[in-house]
Structure 1
């Protein structure tokens, strides 16, 4: 039997040896398990306890002696299902803190960073894209807030007109709760693909990436824009964006 299959399912080599030995032995004490599996006697109880926790081994007391038996092999499938559910839950939890970790990484970067205060300053930082991007190039924006002042919406609309004229592409992921009218408006401009985030994750800021530049826009309570020129930081944010983008759905 190819033991690597069970190891890939989440069992250690020692657990596999003990489980397979129990399948052959049936109800038994630890002595025969050690002899057949070849595992060290000093760790047999630890391995059995781990298998019990995984639902793959059970025990009874017979003649005041603890005896073990393997659960039916179909229990391995149930264990895999539980493990996958736990991994999915853990992934969801980690996804929610990744934006904060990326922000922390960016704030401590050794690249060239410039801070702009106020929405006018944010506009200046945002428009630096036109110094680096040409027709056919593009930028990505992650975590566009669901709620924004009307003056901000008007600026973004004017900028999309300018961007489209230059021929710059853009992909945008808006936070859940964004009005359909806003998404419809953004998608009405050429070379723009605006979608909703594929989960309920709300990023602590808006992140824009292009070339070697990352722009972090924090809108509450005061608008602050942080422009970082660092290829490594930009690559990190871009990879995070792509992870959500491939799971998002085009606006229809």
Structure 2
């Protein structure tokens, strides 16, 4: 079953999912017994599988009975990831057109990318006293990914009087940035995809909100300038 782990499932998720495929609908206690996992691990694993659309449940006699989604759902999840990657391709192809310079690319997977990017933004802004420009952010997603680092980020922004401008979807109401440090403007939802882009100093960071999260930080002055120009065009057309 190593292919399932390559598709992004943890070892426990593979055990629970394949157990449910074999036995059909079952309660947590039955799943724990058949999979060999402790009940607390089963609860956590079922929750993650539900989020991935691989498990559902029905209540019978006031008890939850869990059922595995058809294996074809695994293919659908990979198709969705591929579609999001294809949407990102135009941005990646733009990198090839840039003047060649000394540049570096750092690639990350998992929720740690949120912590890495926010710490890198703060470090850069404190050193250069520039502003952070953000395109396509969904503040709730970031809070859900790592609420501790996000609260620290907003606290540090206010403490050191750092500045940022953020483009969010029209209709979003969760705007945790302090008014003295963060300016928000709104764009129609058609402008947005599951990616968030940060432009700060000579860096561009892109986070792809799939499962798991993927992200990269490109350290390139030419690329940062190109993205700043794009940001300013969008900022002028955005509503307050």
| Superposition TM-score, scaled by structure 1 size | 0.51
How far did residue 160 of structure 1 move? 1.1
Q: CA RMSD in A?
A: 2.9
Query: Structure 2: how far apart are the matches of 1:147 and 1:115?
Result: 23
Tell me if the contact between 2:110 and 2:212 (Cα under 8 Å) persists in the aligned partners.
yes
Partner secondary structure for residue 212 of structure 2: coil
Query: Structure 1: how far apart are the matches of 2:155 and 2:193?
Result: 26
Tell me if the contact between 1:116 and 1:125 (Cα under 8 Å) persists in the aligned partners.
no
Name the CA shift for 1:149/1:226 in 2 (closer, same or farther; >3 Å).
Answer: closer
Gaps of 5+ in 1: 1-96
Aligned 1:137-152 pairs, distance under 5 A? 137-145=130-138, 148=141, 150-152=143-145
Query: Structure 2: how far apart are the matches of 1:171 and 1:144?
Result: 11
Q: Does 1:161 align with 2:148?
A: no
How far did residue 238 of structure 1 move? 1.3
Tell me if the contact between 2:142 and 2:150 (Cα under 8 Å) persists in the aligned partners.
no
Q: Does 1:196 align with 2:186?
A: yes
Tell me if the contact between 1:214 and 1:230 (Cα under 8 Å) persists in the aligned partners.
yes
Task: Show the counterpart of 2:202.
Answer: 212
How far did residue 136 of structure 1 move? 4.2
CA deviation string 1:191-235 (max 9, x = no partner):
110122256211351100011100011111211120000111111
Name the CA shift for 1:231/1:136 in 2 (closer, same or farther; >3 Å).
Answer: closer
Partner secondary structure for residue 200 of structure 1: helix
| Superposition TM-score, scaled by structure 2 size | 0.54
Runs of 4+ more than 3 Å apart: 97-100, 106-110
The alignment covers a number of residue pairs equal to 150
Gaps of 5+ in 2: 1-85
Name the CA shift for 1:136/1:150 in 2 (closer, same or farther; >3 Å).
Answer: closer
Task: Show the counterpart of 1:3.
Answer: none
Query: Structure 1: how far apart are the matches of 2:142 and 2:136?
Result: 16
